[in-house]
Structure 1
């Protein structure tokens, strides 16, 4: 006993120094914390167990840990929010985190890179690797800071990131396509693998962070029906299109995790699918990492798919198929009874629990910080200069010059008066995309142009239109009209639940009701980052008699009361939902306004604004702008319209998806009016997906596609507009002419889809993009014939024949003429190269037998004999679009 008493303080000191992540990890409930060491020394000196011995192999330590868990404890560890196990010193951990294009949803300022589809437009694997490495660095800093403040068990504080999204963007109407790397399996695979390697690091023992390939598999909309959809692609399409990127990440890049999809495949939910989970993933590909369900996907088994009778049968089947973590709230709790009833053995649970703890050990969560180099990453790396510089680099590289008639661009820096018009001209939400973090500063296009031209230039800004209509609310400042108990402002009460129940965590007076919190942020100290609510109470004093126009908008549920009468009831989840209402008021009268609001998960916001609804006069606007030197119209769409399962229902959009790929008509009408004014017009299009703009292509001299460019978007666009950067982005998706080019959205056959199987003429083809320079390809050198099963060497020369330095994206395509079912052409190599004006570089590619193969109707790869055509250039072969580079091709014989 004396020895024990003498050693405990010493061991405690060692743990405090060497295991700060363990001791700082706490069980939280309602804001209260529990020290994990409480009672541990009295009941069980866990510190001497093999699970804590850093000299032992991870497998042995994991086996020891799992052997000490009760059935109930094992099940608890299979939830995304795994609770602490105090008696063993195991801290609580939440598996749910995101870093799609920079660390997302944390309460700290982080670097935000272009949205994934924009990064895909760079065709730059090295830049994507670096971006992922920087994101993991910032993620480590966030985790370390959370650990030091006792918040490391909260959502979005962990090191298991549920990204990248490598689903194939097969249809431009899918709202989540912006999260992907485009429509091509080869490009997606190479970019995704670069991301995984950058994020996970190169340490021989520890993961820098854990990536997760999602959504496995055959998943790309529609959003409104995703919980119940059942898809039955052919074996050819499954192996030719939907699985190659997953194979690359799982087999070659060694991704740590996989997320199974909501939908069913061949009538079995993906998270309990014989073919996907047992045969392909675990048997054929030998995947030994962890699998998480998509969030609440296991519930879908019995709620929507109707393939299982209840939660227990769903949970059992998911475990049998290797789904280790339930992202959700309830279903896996039933596993305790399932084991007790003999529906499942405890040893089957052990398989999953061991996979999960193996990942946590590989992340260094059970080792001294001094042994894990990543655990020492300081907070100072957040938004470091090199990270912000890389965000600018990737934003520049992502911009695609679609049209430049008569070389209107670049614009002259001597411009003294310019107009910046449109709904995306000064929209920070648009440039950040979705699944985003919150940087300390976001450069919009308006700000970027103002900085570029300096204080001597006049920059006129008009929003002019919304995305789909021409009637704006000209806002008034109503803050001076609001008061509570004689004090100007609004009483705000914040609650740590969604039901406004109990005592508020904080009550204070705020200026007005105009709030936005990115996911992971909290309105006031002491409030959780999810599942909170608020009540705002104020008196509005009317300065005159009138009918006031109001607009209330909330990202989740809200209710509005005026004089204790409910006016708006949007308590059901209502992300980005806005309501307008009229309020007749009399001079010197007061009106009690109460708004109740709750946040479920994700971004949050609540706004009450007033103003006058004004229809924009396009002719008058064009007349007003007659004195400018040029007009920049910043239009397109926004993540406020396209995204994940959104309750958006406006013309052209539904549930987060698009019902039409056409540029909203109101924007075309405005561009027509601006063009009639006779001034040069540049269309800067922001979007996460392909937009059909045939009128603009024929009539607007210069068009840039800028995607959702991240925190440095405005600077990058201005750099391209004024020639400080030579545009080099290339399209990772096909821009079709119209909706008529698209098969049915819910049809997962690849026939007629993407450049590989589309036989029509695209508005802008996959791989397309112009430059301010010109590039010439020559001296294509390939053997006249080669044998099956042997690699093929391909060489060529590229020269910058223009008068500007610039980057060229070299693209290599293979086609198999005359073979039924083969792609029209398929990308099999690419490289971004920098060429000074007049410079020539030699290119060399090595095509493997796999890259020269096709997939037959049974889903089996084979290399056919006969003629194949190899093409190299700065674009696809066989297209007659204007271009700043050529294509060279050669047909050879495979024998």
Structure 2
């Protein structure tokens, strides 16, 4: 999902500043409830009744037109009934997103690397508190809320990261259904809370189901998973979030599954979700997916909008998210038409509406005053929440390789910090992010942790091209003779450069910074630029908004932006030394913080400065990888190895690889820090670089977490939630949804770093495991206990992993349990993991899940039995039992 509708938040902030957490949601009786007969009441306003009773009563009082409008994500107010407006669209992938300042946690894939379900619940609790605070701060006087200021959270993304080329894999919890289930359950429990009557927020399991790229054809593709893969891989995490976490919302997918659009797929939404799993909540479409049901240039499953919305709602889709980028509306009039034409029974519409209003009632939106009155409107982006983000960032760090260089024995005199992600805000936040008020980049963190060391920072290279330093102010001038420095700057209200300029002034260059002010504005700079050397130049505007750049009479780059953030699209042109060219830059700004500037790449060897710095240093830290500007959702990226947000190669981008090799040639101690949302085939680095750290997109405190890891302030214990392959050539075709040959469960070749891998600054020993029973009746559960000892001299966490080898299974041993435990040096702790029937089951070719009789082997250790030293126990299962879907 992406969103490009812009709106002015200043009035909301003003209104919100007048409100407190105990605000009265309904200050007076609605008009429709004033003139009832004596003794009659509007049941929907009675807190003593059940949410279902209240919702049914409210829906029964609506007209068809009112009902249809409530089925879109921008649900309008119904004043006569006292129903406030509500926007269902809120993003919370790793913190409150797109709603101004917020605590930014590591990207989802990084949090999965913590292998820490209780920590995920703690994070979810913090995030839900911040959502409540934002809701209170911006609540309308009538109890309504606007975009990204509500309580219905469209997270987590529990799709299986089946192929590392998928750009949105960073949003997931990795490639394993069990790990994804547990991490997702933790986050959902934290988001929804444990209040017996009200949900703190409502979480959404997405994208249901069978969705993991490619991005280029997600609106057109029909995927055909085998019955085995559907039950074995694509559905278990969704099932677990319903049956164990009680998730109250699910999001149906853009694509079709087995020929039927996900948002019109009765088999998925009715048979699996509601009937088999007992789901009681509502289903929302991915944004624009309802239109995919009938669009000619999409799935075209139905011919008209009326037929499309009727098919979706009858199949179980309750709420339609529109997508303004693609002119896909919320389909209000087609719903009305469909009912009048007999295509859609009004009773079916009512059923969906009741589900939606049950959700709003359970959030406390129809109470005399809001629940969770202890939460204040200022309870976001706090120091306490930042501390939780730092803790999670440290837990997410994975030490991929270490030849003894780390932890550093003492502070180096000079540290050269080099690379495109060393001082990158983008590499901290990933995608679907909030705005951190004080982001700590890696170079920031190293400066703070090593105050006695001389820190030299050189970018050296860009992510996928040359380094892009800011264009210096000395290159700009107001006149064609270049006698007067500066640029003409015209500031406009709104993001479209529309109307008269609100301010015209002379700026020293094409750059603009702000902090603390929620803004929506745009700027046009005009003037001239003088080329310092002859050759090819690339221009880009470093921005979180859209931009356009003209040099001479050429539009060099146009990335006006349609989503959460534009790509890092650059454009090239040839300039001659000393010549003066007209220049024009246009850009828009949105949000409470920003640092925008025109950047360029110049002719010549941009890496020489980095190599020179390395030669003079005692330690070199190269910080590279990717960013959400090159991997992500439906993106414009022009670079080798990337396509539409997805990747075509798993290699470290060539410009980074070349510079890394040059740095290695200096013979100085070298640490490679990777910041990325998907696996990288760093084969050369694994052979040549002494220490490699996987930092993911680590959130606002990420630089601190990296620096403390280097210093040895804590022992790293993150574990890979995905396989790092040696090459994309080892994998089946990206668009093939068969699991054979994919992920650690079905891949038979050699890998670079296996799923579950991660090194430590200490070592752990495992005793012989004990089972609560050595002979088990099929369908029953058992406990397995193992004593784990920290055999080193450093305190640290260990991630105890349980894998099971099953009889007649073609898969590799499969993860069936894990626990992250802290052990002091020399300490021993017993760790007990429960193994239920589903963990012991197999899925046959027809999609039937059974526990079979036979001998099973349980492996416990710090990784997969193929790659780590494990302790084993034998289990005999008697009988056979079929498990429900």
Same fold by TM-score, threshold 0.5 exceeded?
Answer: yes
1:53 is matched with 46
Q: Which residue of 866, 875, 878 corresponds with 1:892? A: 875
Which runs of structure 2 are paired with 1:271-310 in the superposition (5 Å)? 271-303=263-295, 304-310=298-304
Q: Taking structure 1 as reference, are residues 736 and 562 closer, same or farther at Cα in structure 2, changes over 3 Å only?
A: closer
Q: State the SS of the aligned residue for 1:360.
A: helix
Which runs of structure 2 are paired with 1:654-693 in the superposition (5 Å)? 654-693=643-682
CA shift digits 1:117-154 (9 cap, x unpaired): 00000001111100000000011001100016889532
Is 1:22–1:90's contact at 8 Å kept on the other side of the alignment?
no
- Asked if 1:339 is matched to 2:339, the reply is yes
1:779 is matched with 768
Q: Which residue of 792, 810, 827 corresponds with 1:802? A: 792
Is 1:447–1:714's contact at 8 Å kept on the other side of the alignment?
yes
How much does 1:833 deviate? 0.5
Q: Taking structure 1 as reference, are residues 215 and 611 closer, same or farther at Cα in structure 2, changes over 3 Å only?
A: closer
2:3 is matched with none
Q: Taking structure 1 as reference, are residues 556 and 148 closer, same or farther at Cα in structure 2, changes over 3 Å only?
A: closer
How much does 1:245 deviate? 0.4
How much does 1:439 deviate? 1.1
Which runs of structure 2 are paired with 1:379-394 in the superposition (5 Å)? 379-394=377-392
Q: State the SS of the aligned residue for 1:153.
A: coil
2:855 is matched with 867
Which runs of structure 2 are paired with 1:756-835 in the superposition (5 Å)? 756-782=745-771, 783-817=773-807, 819-820=808-809, 822-835=810-823
Give the distance between the partners of 1:429 and 1:305, measured in 2 at CA: 34
Q: State the SS of the aligned residue for 1:213.
A: strand
Q: Which residue of 165, 169, 172 corresponds with 1:173? A: 165
CA shift digits 1:347-392 (9 cap, x unpaired): 21111111111111111111122xx432552133212222111111
Q: Taking structure 1 as reference, are residues 67 and 148 closer, same or farther at Cα in structure 2, changes over 3 Å only?
A: closer
CA shift digits 1:402-435 (9 cap, x unpaired): 1111x11001333211111111111011111111
Q: Taking structure 1 as reference, are residues 542 and 823 closer, same or farther at Cα in structure 2, changes over 3 Å only?
A: closer
Give the distance between the partners of 1:605 and 1:419, measured in 2 at CA: 24
- Asked if 1:636 is matched to 2:622, the reply is no
1:135 is matched with 127
Q: Taking structure 1 as reference, are residues 237 and 568 closer, same or farther at Cα in structure 2, changes over 3 Å only?
A: closer
- Asked if 1:217 is matched to 2:209, the reply is yes
1:476 is matched with 472
Which deviates further from its counterpart, 677-686 or 472-481?
A: 472-481
Give the distance between the partners of 1:420 and 1:545, measured in 2 at CA: 27
Q: Taking structure 1 as reference, are residues 752 and 541 closer, same or farther at Cα in structure 2, changes over 3 Å only?
A: closer
How much does 1:594 deviate? 4.8
Q: Taking structure 1 as reference, are residues 560 and 675 closer, same or farther at Cα in structure 2, changes over 3 Å only?
A: closer
Q: State the SS of the aligned residue for 1:683.
A: strand
Aligned alpha-carbon RMSD (Å): 3.3
Which runs of structure 2 are paired with 1:138-217 in the superposition (5 Å)? 138-147=130-139, 153-217=145-209
Structure 2 unaligned residues grouped into runs of 5+: 1-17, 323-328, 879-885
1:4 is matched with none
Is 1:183–1:732's contact at 8 Å kept on the other side of the alignment?
yes
How much does 1:647 deviate? 1.0
Q: Taking structure 1 as reference, are residues 338 and 676 closer, same or farther at Cα in structure 2, changes over 3 Å only?
A: same
- Asked if 1:324 is matched to 2:318, the reply is yes
How much does 1:214 deviate? 0.1
2:837 is matched with 849
Give the distance between the partners of 1:779 and 1:543, measured in 2 at CA: 71
Is 1:237–1:750's contact at 8 Å kept on the other side of the alignment?
yes
- Asked if 1:745 is matched to 2:705, the reply is no
How much does 1:265 deviate? 0.4
Give the distance between the partners of 1:214 and 1:87, measured in 2 at CA: 35
- Asked if 1:240 is matched to 2:232, the reply is yes
Give the distance between the partners of 1:332 and 1:548, measured in 2 at CA: 51
Is 1:19–1:366's contact at 8 Å kept on the other side of the alignment?
no
Give the distance between the partners of 2:695 and 2:64, measured in 1 at CA: 52
Is 1:223–1:655's contact at 8 Å kept on the other side of the alignment?
yes
1:457 is matched with 453
Q: Taking structure 1 as reference, are residues 680 and 308 closer, same or farther at Cα in structure 2, changes over 3 Å only?
A: same
Is 1:663–1:692's contact at 8 Å kept on the other side of the alignment?
yes
Q: Taking structure 1 as reference, are residues 321 and 631 closer, same or farther at Cα in structure 2, changes over 3 Å only?
A: same
Q: Taking structure 1 as reference, are residues 596 and 668 closer, same or farther at Cα in structure 2, changes over 3 Å only?
A: closer
Give the distance between the partners of 2:257 and 2:745, measured in 1 at CA: 23
2:12 is matched with none
Which runs of structure 2 are paired with 1:400-799 in the superposition (5 Å)? 400-405=398-403, 407-454=404-451, 456-470=452-466, 472-473=468-469, 475-477=471-473, 481=477, 490-494=488-492, 496=494, 503=499, 506-507=502-503, 509=505, 511=507, 512-514=509-511, 524=519, 527=520, 534=522, 536-540=524-528, 551-553=539-541, 558-560=547-549, 573=562, 575-582=567-574, 591=582, 594-596=584-586, 607-609=597-599, 612-618=602-608, 621-782=610-771, 783-799=773-789
How much does 1:606 deviate? 6.9
Is 1:324–1:352's contact at 8 Å kept on the other side of the alignment?
yes
1:91 is matched with 84
How much does 1:698 deviate? 1.1
How much does 1:79 deviate? 0.6
Q: State the SS of the aligned residue for 1:727.
A: coil
2:4 is matched with none
Which deviates further from its counterpart, 199-208 or 564-573?
A: 564-573
1:64 is matched with 57
How much does 1:544 deviate? 9.8
Q: Which residue of 282, 304, 309 corresponds with 1:315? A: 309
How much does 1:505 deviate? 9.0
Q: Taking structure 1 as reference, are residues 468 and 538 closer, same or farther at Cα in structure 2, changes over 3 Å only?
A: closer
Which deviates further from its counterpart, 708-717 or 87-96?
A: 87-96
Is 2:531–2:576's contact at 8 Å kept on the other side of the alignment?
no
CA shift digits 1:81-129 (9 cap, x unpaired): 111112222111110001111111102x111111000000000111110
- Asked if 1:259 is matched to 2:256, the reply is no
Give the distance between the partners of 1:150 and 1:67, measured in 2 at CA: 22
Q: State the SS of the aligned residue for 1:749.
A: coil
2:368 is matched with 368
Q: Taking structure 1 as reference, are residues 308 and 67 closer, same or farther at Cα in structure 2, changes over 3 Å only?
A: same
Q: Taking structure 1 as reference, are residues 301 and 88 closer, same or farther at Cα in structure 2, changes over 3 Å only?
A: same
How many residue pairs get aligned? The number is 843
Give the distance between the partners of 1:709 and 1:167, measured in 2 at CA: 21
CA shift digits 1:612-666 (9 cap, x unpaired): 3442345x74354233211111011111110111111211111111101111233
CA shift digits 1:660-697 (9 cap, x unpaired): 11112332222222222111111111110111111111
How much does 1:740 deviate? 2.0
CA shift digits 1:484-518 (9 cap, x unpaired): 9x9965443435575x55x4595464845445899
2:114 is matched with 122
Q: Taking structure 1 as reference, are residues 334 and 739 closer, same or farther at Cα in structure 2, changes over 3 Å only?
A: same
Is 2:394–2:706's contact at 8 Å kept on the other side of the alignment?
yes
Is 1:517–1:523's contact at 8 Å kept on the other side of the alignment?
no
